[in-house]
Amino acid sequence: MTQEKHKPTGTMFQSMVATGEKTPTTATSDAELQYRSIFENAVEGIYQTTVNGQYLRVNPALSKIYGYESPEALIDDLTDIAGQLYLDPTRRDAFKKAMADEGIVRDFEAQIYRADGTIIWITENARCVRGAAGKILYYEGTVEDITRRKADEQQIRLLAKVFESVGDGILIVDRDLVVRAVNPAYETITSFSEQELTDKPLDILAPGYHEKTFLPAIWHEVNLRGTWTGEATCRRLDGTPFVATLSASTVKDENGELSHTVITCADISFRKKQEHRIKHQASYDFLTNLPNRWLINDRLEQAISRAFRQKTVLSVLYLDLNGFKQINDGMGHQAGDELLRSVASRLRSSTRLSDIVGRLGGDEFLIVATDVNDQNSSKKLADKILYSFAHPFVIEGREIYCLPSIGISHYPNDGNTAQLLIRNADMAMFTAKQNKARTAVCFESHMLSAASERLSIENDLRRALERQEFVLYFQPKVESASHGIVAAEALVRWQHPERGLVPPGAFISFAEECGLIAAIGEWTLREACRQFVSWRAAGLSIKSVSVNLSPVQFLDSHLIDVVKRILNETKIDPNCLELELTEGAMSVDIEKAITTLGTLKALGVKLSIDDFGTGYSSLAYLKRLPIDIVKIDRSFVKDLDHNPADSDIVGAIIGLADRLGFGVVAEGVETAGQANILGATQCALLQGYLFGRPLNAVEFARMASKPAAP
Ligand code: C2E
Ligand code: MG
Ligand code: MG
């Protein structure tokens, strides 16, 4: 910068004043000094320019606004206002036109280039100074840098847009909590109109959902920290409540005093509902609406903690429905679902409200009873449940019997975690399932080893058929009058390579469970028929062979075809084949049982009810069943010699069977005393160790070919 350009501004002022219309004076008057001071020290830029666009005089403020080192530098460098200053050169034309038309320009806003090329916003107020003849001498005016204000305005426009268009409701309240502004979203959410809200005290919460201290606590927090966020139940115009995330933040004035609070309100009621639904789905069984495995576990853990603190006992009942698979397969899944729902409601109504009743999946349910004193009270609960299952379920208009097997474990004796208690109750349930008479069993530690053995048996069982490890044993049935062998009951055994001869009680139920019973049953039936035919061909004079059918086989829709096929294959006289069924097989769905039995009977085979008297069936329906023989269960025969009640029962069964035209076989005859009593009560056929244990085919044939012992 040259020394010349650094002319003292005082000179500038003088020269500027000198260019005025007044006659210049050489002496600087007081007034002039004052004007000069104003010019020099004004915050606004002040200028004089020619109409052509050259600066004549400028004050320091203007050179500062335009980014020049000094007024002189500005005057020297900026010589073409239209071309150099304005971003849009046509602004100069507009400026000049306004001057020509009005002689004055007010609040003329434009973007301009500063000396360093940066762009700023300015506003100008100017007038034109005319000579005596009215000719424009020059323009003079002021300039203000409004870049900041422009940015603010832009920001405000942006914020206003946000305020108008966000999905969240926004309320602005003053320090007295009077609503000053509300956005359209808040109106949409709540159905309140702007007029109904503005200038009214803030009233946003639904009444009755919050403590009295709720709002004061929020305001306290807002005042203290400047912001608060949380969930609240707000209200809509019609009074309905909705859950919202509210957040409040303060706005302070230039003195740092609270002036407003901005409250945003996001309606999360839909999300809440979704969350609730998802939570429910994740914790409750869809079909029965009972807690599912996950929730049961959780609740059981909580119950354990409580029992631990209060030193009380818990019991866990594991229920599995007997024969559910058959019902489900036989009647269809819809019927199965209906049954499960009915079971759930029966369980709920036979337990206390404080008990946990849940569905583990499939046909397995779990009950956690708190408030149990000892094993006895859980047994009582189990009995109550069993009792409630004694009435048939009415499914699709049909009466269905479906009993559960129940296993029970206790906290703290049988485990101290949910997992252990459930596992042990499951094991006890398994034992219950094996056991025909007892349907509720408490866990005992030996069941653990039994379970691992079970697993290995199950694995072996899958291969037993192809390895031909099954064998048939035959037990004689004798005439009670002569004790001569007249028939044989085929009883399957498993010749296990390591375990030796495994009795059917140890594997039939696994076979039923893992779906192998159909194949094993078919093999047994074929083998028994084949053996009988070959005995008869060899001249053995027995009249029939009987084969046991598992309930699972009986309910299997393929049974009829299998029997037909085997009758054809083996050429056995159907009259010589007897099929033994337990009451349980028939009581599931009595109408269907009658149909199946009828079809079997039409094939010519004989039918008998095995273990008669142990099931739940009533004598009433006995006469509706197309059967030939009733086999009195061993349990009635056992104490026959010394229990008069049993001999009465046996007498009654024989009498009834006789009247209905059924033959009778007494099972489990071990003593001559029993045989005598049975003979005296007209029981035609006897079976039991007294006359012969089950034997292999060769031994049986040898025994049966001997003349009867006198
Ligand atoms: P079940 O049909 O009632 O067969 C009679 C069971 O009682 C046989 O046991 C037999 O050995 C036993 N027993 C016979 N007389 C006496 C006696 O005087 N005293 C005593 N204490 N027991 C006697 P096993 O062979 O162990 O069969 C048990 C059950 O397994 C059978 O009861 C039957 O329900 C089932 N089972 C046997 N073989 C088959 C089969 O091939 N298929 C099916 N599904 N089940 C079978
Ligand atoms: Mg039998
Ligand atoms: Mg039996």
Q: Provide DSSP, 346-375.
A: HHHHTS-TTSEEEEEETTEEEEEEEEE-SH
Tens digit of pLDDT for each residue in 584-620?
788 777 888 899 999 999 999 999 999 887 765 556 6
Per-chain mean pLDDT for the chain? 89
**Would you say 389 and 346 are in contact if contact means Cβ atoms under 8 Å apart?**
yes
Helices (H) and strands (E) in the chain, counts: 26, 27
Nearest CA among 562, 528, 531, 565 for reference residue 547: 528
Q: What are phi and psi of 3, to 5 degrees?
A: -60, -35
Specify the residue with its C-alpha closest to ligand 1, atom 20: 668
How many CB atoms sit inside 10 A of residue 579's CB?
A: 24
Nearest CA among 613, 629, 631, 648 for reference residue 688: 631
Q: Which amino acid is it at 629?
A: I
Specify the residue with its C-alpha closest to ligand 1, atom 41: 492
Residue 356 contacts by C-beta under 8 Å, 6 or more apart in sequence?
291, 296, 299, 300, 303, 366, 367, 368
Angle in degrees, CA 277, 278, 279, rounded to 5: 90
Q: What are phi and psi of 289, to 5 degrees?
A: 65, 15
Which residue is listed with tokens 């305005």? 153
CA 610 to ligand 3 center in whole angstroms = 5
Would you state the pLDDT for residue 22?
45
CA 612 to ligand 3 center in whole angstroms = 8
How many CB atoms sit inside 10 A of residue 431's CB?
A: 19
Tens digit of pLDDT for each residue in 70-98?
999 999 999 999 899 999 989 999 999 99
Q: Which amino acid is it at 133?
A: A
**Would you say 341 and 363 are in contact if contact means Cβ atoms under 8 Å apart?**
no
Q: What are phi and psi of 605, to 5 degrees?
A: -80, 160
CATH architecture of the domain with residue range 284-444: 2-Layer Sandwich (3.30)
**Would you say 68 and 74 are in contact if contact means Cβ atoms under 8 Å apart?**
yes
Specify the residue with its C-alpha closest to ligand 1, atom 35: 504
User: Which atom of ligand 1 is least distant from the CA of 524?
Assistant: 41
d(CA 477, CA 483): 9
Answer yes or no: is the C-beta of 611 below 6 A from any ligand 1 atom.
Answer: yes
**Would you say 494 and 507 are in contact if contact means Cβ atoms under 8 Å apart?**
yes
Strands (E), 561-600: 577-582
d(CA 679, CA 74): 140
- The highest-level CATH class for domain 166-273 is alpha beta
- Please state, for a pLDDT cut of 90, what percent of the chain lies above it: 66
Proximal ligand: closest to the CA of 631: 3
Answer yes or no: is the C-beta of 44 below 6 A from any ligand 1 atom.
Answer: no
Determine whether 638 is exposed, middle or buried from the number of CB atoms within 10 Å of its CB (0-12, 13-18, 19+): middle
Would you state the pLDDT for residue 2?
39
Residue 363 contacts by C-beta under 8 Å, 6 or more apart in sequence?
320, 321, 324, 325, 340, 343
**Would you say 319 and 364 are in contact if contact means Cβ atoms under 8 Å apart?**
yes
Answer yes or no: is the C-beta of 614 below 6 A from any ligand 1 atom.
Answer: no
**Would you say 366 and 317 are in contact if contact means Cβ atoms under 8 Å apart?**
yes
**Read out DSSP for 289-333?**
-SB-HHHHHHHHHHHHHHHHHHT-EEEEEEEEETTHHHHHHHH-H
Q: Which long-range contacts (CB under 8 A, 24 or more apart) does 452-458 make?
A: 454/430, 454/510, 457/502, 457/506, 457/507, 457/510, 458/510, 458/514
Answer yes or no: is the C-beta of 610 below 6 A from any ligand 1 atom.
Answer: yes
Successive 10-residue mean pLDDT values, the chain, 710 residues:
40 43 57 89 94 94 96 94 92 92 94 95 95 89 95 90 91 94 94 95 92 90 92 93 94 89 93 87 91 93 93 94 85 92 95 93 94 82 92 89 93 93 94 77 89 79 90 97 95 92 89 89 97 96 96 90 97 97 81 92 95 68 86 91 84 87 94 94 94 96 79
Would you state the pLDDT for residue 591?
85
Helical segments of 370-472, H only: 375-388, 418-434, 446-464
Specify the residue with its C-alpha closest to ligand 1, atom 2: 548
CA 431 to ligand 2 center in whole angstroms = 21
**Would you say 480 and 650 are in contact if contact means Cβ atoms under 8 Å apart?**
no
Answer yes or no: is the C-beta of 694 below 6 A from any ligand 1 atom.
Answer: yes
CATH of 12-151, one of 3.40.470.10, 1.10.260.40, 3.40.1280.10, 3.30.450.20: 3.30.450.20
Q: Which amino acid is it at 176?
A: D
In the chain, domain spans? 12-151, 166-273, 284-444, 458-705
Query: Taken in order 22, 28, 33, 39, is the CA torsion positive or negative?
Result: positive
What is 458-705's CATH topology? TIM Barrel (3.20.20)
C-alpha distances (whole Å) from 399 to each of 16, 559, 675 are 117, 22, 39
Answer yes or no: is the C-beta of 407 below 6 A from any ligand 1 atom.
Answer: no
Would you state the pLDDT for residue 611?
87
User: Which atom of ligand 1 is least distant from the CA of 669?
Assistant: 18
Strand, coil or helix: 131: coil
Torsion angle (degrees, nearest 10) of CA 686, 689, 692, 694: 100
d(CA 441, CA 382): 9
Answer yes or no: is the C-beta of 297 below 6 A from any ligand 1 atom.
Answer: no
Answer yes or no: is the C-beta of 689 below 6 A from any ligand 1 atom.
Answer: yes
Specify the residue with its C-alpha closest to ligand 1, atom 34: 548
d(CA 707, CA 276): 79
Residues facing 650 on adjacent strands: none
Answer yes or no: is the C-beta of 505 below 6 A from any ligand 1 atom.
Answer: yes
Nearest CA among 630, 686, 634, 696 for reference residue 491: 696
Specify the residue with its C-alpha closest to ligand 1, atom 38: 491
Residue 522 contacts by C-beta under 8 Å, 6 or more apart in sequence?
562, 566
Between strands 695-696 and 544-548, the pairing is unpaired
CA 249 to ligand 3 center in whole angstroms = 83
Side-by-side strand order, sheet with 55-58: 55-58, 45-49, 136-145, 119-130, 104-113
How many CB atoms sit inside 10 A of residue 332's CB?
A: 12
Helices 672-680 + 644-660 axis angle, to 10: 40
Residue 624 contacts by C-beta under 8 Å, 6 or more apart in sequence?
590, 594
**Would you say 234 and 265 are in contact if contact means Cβ atoms under 8 Å apart?**
yes
Between strands 577-582 and 544-548, the pairing is parallel
Proximal ligand: closest to the CA of 504: 1
The C-alpha R_g of the chain, in whole angstroms, comes to 52
Would you state the pLDDT for residue 279?
85
Proximal ligand: closest to the CA of 507: 1
- Domains 12-151 and 166-273 alike in fold: yes
**Would you say 315 and 369 are in contact if contact means Cβ atoms under 8 Å apart?**
yes
Answer yes or no: is the C-beta of 99 below 6 A from any ligand 1 atom.
Answer: no
Proximal ligand: closest to the CA of 492: 1
Task: Return the best residue to mutate from 461, 491, 553 for the ligand 1 pocket (most ligand atoms within 8 A of CB).
Answer: 491
Count of residues in the chain: 710
Q: What are phi and psi of 9, to 5 degrees?
A: -65, -25
Answer yes or no: is the C-beta of 492 below 6 A from any ligand 1 atom.
Answer: yes
Tens digit of pLDDT for each residue in 218-268?
999 999 999 999 999 999 999 999 999 999 999 998 888 889 999 999 999
Answer yes or no: is the C-beta of 511 below 6 A from any ligand 1 atom.
Answer: no
Enter the tokens of residue 515: 């779906």
Specify the residue with its C-alpha closest to ligand 1, atom 19: 668
